[in-house]
Every structure is written in C-alpha cells, then in structure tokens.
Structure 1
Amino acid sequence: MWLNPAYFTDDAVRIYRQQLLQHKPRYVVIDQLFNSSPLEQVLQQLQLDHGWQTQKHTYDKLYVNDKKWQNTPEPERFVKRDLWLRNSSTAPNNIAQQFLDYLRGEEFLKFLSRLFKVQLTDKNVADPALNTNYFRLGSSDFVHQHADDSPGREVCMLLYLNKDWQADQGGDLVFQGQHNQTIAITPLFNRCVLFDPASAGAEHWVNAVKAGTTSCYRYNVTSWYWSE
C-alpha cells in the first residue's frame, strides 16, 4: 500500500547508494518513494485543527515549558513547531497513525538497512513511537541549526506532505554542507530525504515559512532509525 514498488528495486537501491557515497553529507532525495494516494489521505487527516501541540526545544533542554521558554534568550532557542499527538483521532482506522506504524515496520526497516548497509532495529529503543511523528511549521515557527547525530542513530528520514508548494514559500531544509557550500531542499509533496546524521556537513536547519503562503503550514514526517 505504501511503498512505490518501482523505487525499491535492487537497481534503484544501487543508484541511491551511489548518491549517498557521492554526496557530502551522505544524503539522498527520492521523489515519489511512496504511493501518493494514501499520502493525500494522511494530509487530509493532518489538516484537521485538532490533534496538535506546540513543541519547544532549547539547546540545553528538550520539551521545555512556557516558563522555561520565556526565560531562555532567543539565541538559545532552537525549535518551535507543532507536534502531532499520536492516536489523537477517535477513528478506528486512522490512516495517519497507520503510516507512522508502517515507517517502523519490518518492510521499511529492511529497505533502509539495505540502502545504508547497516542493520537497523527497534530492539533496544525504549519507545520507538517517539522516533517517528508528524510536525508542522507556520510562519512564526522555526527549526534552527542543529545536529541529529546521537550515538547509535544511523539514519534520519524526512518526508514532506505539502501540496503545490512553491520555492518562494520558504521552508527549505538546509544542510550545512562542506566549505560553506550549503544545500537547500524544497519541501515538495512526497519528497523523501534520507541522510546519515553523523556524516560531515549533516548539521541542518529549516528556512522560515513565509507569512501569507497558500498553505498555513509546512507538514512533514520526521523519523530516526537506530542500529543495535
């Protein structure tokens, strides 16, 4: 249902691996990796007003409350965005939740393991659900420069769910890159970015979403994967 079969053949994986080896940081962009029809249903679920909660991180502490946030100088704040509350829908077959479950399922873990040539597993992950979720950013939100290179974290996945997104709307993912040559990636619908967070130049941030854009929010899935 989810993966587009043309994009995870042996030949396709070889091409992705070549790109990983050529790029610094080690990353690959795959458009249309997933079947678009169910992703459109996921987006419809995410566009409902309920089920979101603001998330705030500082460079010295994650998930801070409003009091801590207000007492933190702006240069020390690095994330303000909305987090989707898993299981927030009362629908028995919530397609948004089904997709999150798939991203931590056997088929997708095997695909990523083949691509990055590392055995990924949730065996030693205390709460895998914390490592895969939806986020949205509006014009007042931000994700400043940071690294995702926690010990044992091998792969980061970003999947964008923004229909008819235009380059002038902002919201680009930007890798630091090497030798001051940044790499900007537009968050187009069904565009998947996979990268090695420990590779040189993998620190990244998100350009601000422009106020007054066609869509109020920039939607994406973020998923982190670990080795044994």
Structure 2
Amino acid sequence: MEASLVPKSWNVEQILDDLDQHGFTIIDHAYSLEYVHQLVKECTSHLNEFRDAAIQNGVVSNIRSDHILWINENLAIAQQHIQALFQLSQSLNRAFYLGIKDVEAHFACYNAGEFYALHRDNPQGKNGRMISAVYYLHEQWQDDWGGELHLQDKNNIWHFIEPKPNRIAMFQSDLLHEVIEAKHQRLSITAWLRSDIGLL
C-alpha cells in the first residue's frame, strides 16, 4: 500500500456524505488481506507491552478496562494506517474546515469481560480531537462475541456497529459512544484526527 494515498477501497465521497448527514461512517474491506495479516502480527507481537488503559497518571478510571499501546515510529506497519488517515484528513479539512493537523493512535486490546462505558472523545470541545476512527484488525469475529461500538449519531439515533474484521468505524469525536463488553479478545487501532499536535 502506498503510504501517501487513501486506499482505493475507501469511497471518499461516501465518507464525506455519511459524516455530513449522520456524523459517522463505516469503511468495510479497508485494506488488503496481506496488510491485515502484517498488522495483526505487529500488534500481537507487542501484546506484552500493552498497559492498563484505566490507569492515567496513576489515577484509576472505572469506565474502561481495555489495554493499549500507543503507536510510534517504531511500529512501521501501523504507521501506514495512520498515514492513510492523515491523507483522508485533507479531504475532511476541505469539506468541513476541521483544521486537522495530526493523527494520534494506539492499539487497543479488549480481552473477554472488558469494556468502555459511555463517553465522548472530545466533550464540549475540550481537546483537539475532531474525528475518531476505530479499525478492527482481528482476522475473525463472530456475532455472539460482543465488543460492538454503540454510538449515538448527530441526529440522536443509536447504532450498534459490529467489530467486523478489516472494518473502520469513523465518527465525530464529540458523539456519545461506548464499547459493549467483549466475550472474546478484540483487537483494534483507535485513532484521533486532531486540530492540534497530539501527545506523540
């Protein structure tokens, strides 16, 4: 995959229309199966480095129980996904004047029994997160394994989005959402398209 290009499987016009009408969009079959396999391998080979996401600066939160690993320049396969999102952000900026300047992301692992309660990624415009994007990178998923993204769109309609392999769920960062308890290990990359420079 060319790191500088939005993948051909991404229908940019549809993405822009969905975000405009509903505040979220779904991209299925986002990448080649070869890339998916490489990404899963990169993620799973670093699982021992993941940390408890509920602990931030020594403070324990009770709204989430997943584990994360921030993506930096050493994770070259995941960087290709970040570059694709950054390229897409140029189209988002032209369409919606979001002023996106950066993409920050982490791997996320939800083991059986783990969840993320209702929240907003950018409550009341308190940070630079404009668009959130969750990419499901596990290679298989069954309907009864839980782990759905439960999202309220900009029209106040609720949706259950299944974590199907090779799917991207993209939405406005100020929308209310949660991750339903997983019954099987669920792997993803959570990314934020930011109007400021992120932490990494």
Report TM bin, short chain.
0.7 to 0.9
1:156-210 Cα shifts (integer Å, max 9, x gaps): 1111112221111000000134797421000111111111123xxx200011111
TM-score (norm: length of structure 2):
0.79
2:64 is paired with a residue of what secondary structure? strand
- Provide the residue aligned with 2:17 in structure 1: 18
Q: Is 1:39 the equivalent of 2:24?
A: no
Partner AA of 2:121 in structure 1: D
- Provide the residue aligned with 1:148 in structure 2: 121
1:50 is paired with a residue of what secondary structure? helix
1:183 is paired with a residue of what secondary structure? strand
Query: Residues 115 and 16 of structure 1: is their aligned pair in 2 closer, same or farther, counting only changes over 3 Å?
Result: farther
Further displaced range: 34-43 or 135-144: 34-43
- Provide the residue aligned with 2:133 in structure 1: 157
- Provide the residue aligned with 2:64 in structure 1: 79
Unaligned residue ranges in structure 2 (runs of 5+): none
- Provide the residue aligned with 2:50 in structure 1: 52
- The number of residue pairs the alignment matches comes to 189
Q: Is 1:4 the equivalent of 2:7?
A: yes
Partner AA of 1:98 in structure 2: Q
Unaligned residue ranges in structure 1 (runs of 5+): 58-62, 70-75, 123-127
- Provide the residue aligned with 1:120 in structure 2: 100
Residues 4, 32 of structure 1: 8 Å contact kept: no
Shift of 1:96: 3.5
Which is higher, the Rg of structure 1 or of structure 2? 1
TM-score (norm: length of structure 1):
0.70
Distance, in Å, in 1 between the alignment partners of 2:153 and 2:7 is 29
Query: Residues 194 and 85 of structure 1: is their aligned pair in 2 closer, same or farther, counting only changes over 3 Å?
Result: closer
Picking from 10, 27, 41, the partner of 2:24 is: 27
1:32-91 Cα shifts (integer Å, max 9, x gaps): 23333212201012123432222215xxxxx153xx53xxxxxx61112111254697xx
Shift of 1:14: 2.4
Q: Is 1:222 the equivalent of 2:190?
A: yes
Percent of pairs with identical residues: 22
Aligned CA RMSD, in angstroms, stands at: 2.8
Written as runs of structure 1 = structure 2, the 5 A alignment for 1:65-144 is 65=58, 68-69=59-60, 77-84=62-69, 86=71, 94-99=75-80, 102=83, 105=86, 107-114=87-94, 116-122=96-102, 131-144=104-117
2:12 is paired with a residue of what secondary structure? helix
Distance, in Å, in 2 between the alignment partners of 1:115 and 1:64 is 37
